[in-house]
Amino acid sequence: MNEQQQIMRFSKIRRTEKRTTDEEYNNMLNQEELIIFKQYLIEGSICMVAKAIQDPFSKLRRLTLESNRVNDAGIYSIAQALTNINAELESLAVFSNGIGFRGARSLADMLARNTSLTSIFLWNCRIGNEGAKVLAKGMQSNVSIQELSLDLSRIGDVGAVAIANMLKINGNIKKLSLRANDVGSVGVKALAASLIKVSCVEELNLEKNRRISNVGALALAKVVKLDPNLCELNLKYTSIRSVGIDALIQAKDFHCSLGLEVADY
């Protein structure tokens, strides 16, 4: 049995009220990566995962929860576990679950204290602008997160501005993704201003933010020209047209190693 098969085998937590057996729990502790995909997690199962995160004998370093009907209460349990001194989880990915503002607040409180996580992914959640704001506040004092992804999370300009302000304080973020949100010119200009000032982000993904126009492209062109650390910029499927595209391409001449993705759609 290969490693991926082991990951999937031990991540299938039953849908019944029966407690996870000692054998299953011990197997969970011995996995470096746990992927729980389309398994409805009842409260007891979430508590068991949270227990494994903070177990001093746990080898768990990467946790993915996808389409499990995990709500704000469930993510609170996970967040609390991650504040434990024994927690050594490095990557937390929560995809297509019912997490809203309260869940984002729980994660924000955790991020202000946790020092083991290096990446956090919240995709297709319902955190919105208010959730993005509390996460950004929690991230201000975080010293370990290097990759932050908030794709398809109903974030607009207000949330993007909050994240931009966080970047001025936290210079550790190397990869930032706000793919498929509702960010427009105001949010992009704020992000651009922060990147020019701090110059920490190496990869920025703003794909499928349809409200990004030439105004945002011109602001990002300045980043491309002045920020030598930016290596990847994704602006596909936005509303940028020829004027913005030309400005970005011309700016790229000052930064030959930049991977730029932009299209006139």
Q: What is the pLDDT of residues 33-64, one digit of tens each?
A: 999 988 877 777 898 899 999 999 999 999 99
- Other Cβ atoms closer than 10 A to 3: 10
Distance (Å, rounded) from C-alpha 212 to C-alpha 53?
A: 39
Q: In which band, very low, low, confident or very high, does the pLDDT at 12 lie, cut at 50, 70 and 90?
A: very low
- Total-model pTM: 0.89
Q: List phi, psi (to 5°) of 24.
A: -65, -40
Task: Tell me which H or E stretch contains 226.
Answer: helix 214-226
Distance (Å, rounded) from C-alpha 1 to C-alpha 6?
A: 7
Cα dihedral: 85, 62, 37, 135 (round 10): 60
Buried b vs exposed e over 88-125: b needs ≥16 C-beta within 10 Å?
bbebbbbbbbebbbbbbbbbbbbbeebebbbbbbbbbb
In the chain, % of residues over pLDDT 90:
75
pLDDT, position 121 = 98
DSSP code, position 20:
P
Distance (Å, rounded) from C-alpha 75 to C-alpha 4?
A: 25
Distance (Å, rounded) from C-alpha 248 to C-alpha 71?
A: 41
pLDDT, position 256 = 57
pLDDT, position 5 = 39
SS3 content of the chain, % helix, strand, coil (to 5): 45, 15, 45
CA distances from 18 to 46, 193, 220 (A): 13, 53, 53
